[in-house]
């Protein structure tokens, strides 16, 4: 895959045919573009377009497309750096369209931007059973995002969630974003690595630049150990040091990153680079649910099921020992629901759950039920 980075060059005016815009259309305040590629693809060439210097890109775009008439859904074509490469207008203001001027602001959005701020199912703190210490920290974060002035230099910044998978780390991040109604950058660390050495540090820098533009916001990095490996593992991946250093820069406070709260999650805190780990103001452990919490988890999911359950869940508290919330939902309750639906029944019986339990016991050791 080729990687074209728009960085310099004098540009000439694009002479593409413009869409019909009403004469009374106003000058455009901003235009958001998405790189979409060539009208005709030759030899399967796939160019990945990125921007490091946003001010330079604005200068480039204005000089090339000034006086062009565009509306949402229009295409603008490059005429110099990547001739005939197409950019789609995905948003603009005024929304009815208008004329690009020397004062129009441009922003380039690509697939990575969409991954950073994806649509996610809204949830509430009540759906996260247990994990009281993590919930307390989230309440502090909510107070900060709502009233940052009272915190001053003591704002919550970097928090590490750790513990077995399926214990509610990502679920709690979604609940926090729902409760505060601020942008959530919910990403897996592997998405920040990139295709080539050097990509990882640029991706991290780009993530925090984007977040700063939309502050206050929350960055939630799942599977942190994928990018914040201890530097003793340099032989496993050649870019370990540069990625760790880039992340340190963002977590360290060298740049203020005001209004950004970073929450990272890992199942393996011992694999993290010691310097990265020391930047987290608090490490909060997510524990496996105890007996009372497993009962609450079963009852919570039972309320959400599309058919009723003729079940006394107290009988299954001990039988579900070593199961976390995800296992209870996906491996215990869901198969029973599917069995009832397949048999055209409108009720789940205890016999259905017992049958599922037998299959779990046959295929998995109890200590591995949360893996």
pLDDT at 202: 81
Q: Mark whether 173 and 139 lie in a shared domain.
A: yes
pLDDT at 191: 79
Last residue within a domain, chosen from 223, 250, 285: 285
**CA 129, chain centre distance (Å):** 23
Q: Mark whether 104 and 157 lie in a shared domain.
A: no
In sequence order, which residues have a C-beta less than 8 Å from that of residue 261 and are 6 or more positions away?
Answer: 141, 144, 145, 156, 157, 159, 216, 217, 218, 219
274-301 confidence digits (pLDDT tens): 889 999 999 999 999 999 999 999 999 9
Which residue ranges of the chain lie beneath pLDDT 50? 1-2, 4, 6-21, 23, 44, 111-116, 365-371
Q: Mark whether 326 and 238 lie in a shared domain.
A: no
Q: What is the pTM of this model?
A: 0.64
Q: Mark whether 145 and 86 lie in a shared domain.
A: no
3-class secondary structure, 253: coil
pLDDT at 112: 47
For 31: left if phi > 0, alpha if psi spans -120 to 50, otherwise beta; the answer is beta
The domain of 151 spans 116-285
pLDDT at 137: 93
| CATH number of domain containing 44 | 3.10.330.10
Q: Mark whether 82 and 188 lie in a shared domain.
A: no
The CA-based dihedral angle spanning residues 295, 300, 302, 307, taken in that order and rounded to the nearest 10 degrees: 170
pLDDT at 235: 52
Q: Mark whether 304 and 213 lie in a shared domain.
A: no
Q: Mark whether 179 and 257 lie in a shared domain.
A: yes
| CATH number of domain containing 319 | 1.10.8.60
Q: Mark whether 82 and 139 lie in a shared domain.
A: no
Q: Mark whether 267 and 125 lie in a shared domain.
A: yes
**Number of folded domains that form the chain:** 3
| CATH number of domain containing 281 | 3.40.50.300
């Amino acid at each position: 895959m080729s990687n074209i980075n728009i960085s310099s060059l004098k540009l000439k005016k694009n002479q593409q045919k413009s869409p019909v815009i009403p004469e009374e259309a106003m000058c455009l305040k901003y235009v958001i573009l998405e790189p979409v590629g060539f009208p005709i693809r030759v030899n399967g060439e796939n160019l990945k377009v990125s921007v490091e210097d946003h001010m330079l890109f604005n200068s480039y775009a204005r000089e090339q497309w000034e006086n062009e008439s565009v509306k949402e859904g229009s295409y603008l074509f490059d005429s110099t750096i990547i001739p005939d490469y197409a950019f789609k207008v995905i948003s603009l203001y005024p929304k009815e369209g208008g004329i690009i001027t020397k004062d129009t602001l441009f922003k380039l959005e690509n697939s990575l931007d969409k991954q950073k701020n994806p649509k996610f199912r809204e949830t509430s703190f009540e759906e996260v059973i247990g994990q009281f210490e993590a919930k307390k920290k989230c309440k502090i974060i909510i107070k900060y995002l709502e009233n940052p002035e009272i915190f001053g230099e003591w704002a919550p910044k970097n928090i590490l969630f750790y513990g077995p998978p399926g214990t509610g780390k990502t679920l709690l991040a979604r609940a926090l974003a729902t409760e505060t109604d601020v942008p959530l950058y919910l990403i897996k660390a592997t998405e920040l690595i990139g295709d080539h050495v050097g990509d990882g540090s640029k991706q991290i820098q780009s993530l925090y630049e984007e977040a700063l533009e939309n502050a206050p916001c929350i960055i939630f990095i799942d599977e942190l150990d994928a990018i914040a490996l201890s530097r003793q593992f340099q032989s496993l991946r050649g870019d370990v040091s540069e990625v760790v250093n880039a992340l340190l820069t963002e977590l360290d406070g060298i740049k203020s990153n005001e209004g950004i709260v970073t929450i990272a999650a890992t199942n393996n805190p011992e694999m993290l680079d010691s310097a990265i780990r020391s930047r987290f103001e608090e490490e909060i452990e997510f524990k496996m649910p105890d007996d009372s919490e497993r009962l609450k988890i079963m009852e919570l999911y039972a309320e959400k099921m599309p058919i009723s359950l003729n079940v006394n869940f107290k009988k299954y508290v001990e039988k579900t020992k070593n199961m976390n919330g995800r296992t209870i939902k996906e491996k215990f309750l869901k198969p029973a629901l599917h069995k009832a639906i397949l048999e055209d029944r409108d009720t789940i019986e205890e016999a259905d759950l017992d049958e599922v339990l037998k299959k779990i016991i046959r295929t998995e050791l109890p200590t591995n039920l949360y893996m």
